[in-house]
Amino acid sequence: MAAEPMDTDIFGDDAEDELGEEIARADPDEIAQRTRMLENEVKVLRNETARLLHEHQSQKEKIKENNDKIKLNKQLPYLVANVVELLDMNAEEEPEEDGANIDLDAHRTGKCCVLKTSTRQTIFLPVPGLVEPEKLKPADLVGVNKDSYLILEALPAEFDSRVKAMEVDEKPTEEFTDVGGLDTQIQELARAAAHSHAVRRCNAISPRSLTATAAPERTFHYQAHLLSDSNSLCRCCPMLLSYA
């Protein structure tokens, strides 16, 4: 049994047949005119392709130049700064007077940033820098350029190296007798812990090492337990080591 011919044309041959019939019915002048139109269109498309290729090459050169500038400006060391505030800038709607001086910052829109550097300078940045403002929040630590103060990189949060050094898995073996020059501080801590009720009743100020590490709600029994185990006291009161 022979297969039935397909009623639908999936390859678009009908359109080609219609175009061929239209050309067959056209006179030579009309065909020549359409040929010239197609040649002009091809010429325009070629010019557009050449323009786009030239623009693409120039953009690649600009990107390479900007990457070199970023690499040059991101040389260490950075100037450390803290983000104070992030502000939304809106362009001024009032018309400006004609003149040679134009405030470019007045026309900027988007996020701007206020920084406080480690040199105690407060800097306003209309352009934050290489870090997106959406990724920043107040009190974040950032590294900025020493000259332009532009934000180059977001830095991790600060930490106390002494506290990090006390993060040990095993119980310390050091005792008070191994550290010299702390007799006065140990006596103050022992008195404040052994007579905590008297200290609270007299509203006396506890030693710095105790107030920095022991919460007010700690009871006499807990503080006495710390004194009975010097290893636990050293682990819970790393401020004592700062006196050595």
Give the pLDDT score at 41.
95
The CA–CA distances, whole Å, from 21 to 15, 25, 39 equal: 10, 6, 21
Give the pLDDT score at 108.
65
Specify burial of residue 75 (Cβ count, 10 A radius: 0-12, 13-18, 19+): exposed
Give the pLDDT score at 26.
78
Give the pLDDT score at 50.
96
Give the pLDDT score at 45.
96
C-alpha angle 40-45-50 in degrees, rounded to nearest 5 = 125
- Half-sphere exposure at residue 218, Cβ-oriented, CA atoms within 13 angstroms: 19
Which two tokens mark 242? 């700062």
Q: Where are the domains of the chain?
A: 26-72, 79-90+108-154, 168-223
Give the pLDDT score at 241.
40
Instruction: Please provide the CATH number assigned to the domain covering 79-90+108-154.
Output: 2.40.50
Give the pLDDT score at 219.
40
Q: What is the mean pLDDT of each run of 10 residues along the chain (244 residues)?
A: 49 60 80 90 96 96 90 82 85 54 62 88 87 86 87 79 54 64 72 70 56 43 47 44 38
Q: What DSSP designation does 107 have? A: G
Give the pLDDT score at 182.
66
The number of beta carbons lying within 10 Å of the beta carbon of residue 207 is 22
User: What 3-state DSSP class applies to 11?
Assistant: coil
**Closest-CA residue to 88 (of 106, 111, 108, 105):** 111
Q: What phi and psi values does residue 140 have, to the nearest 5 degrees?
A: -70, 150
Give the pLDDT score at 16.
60
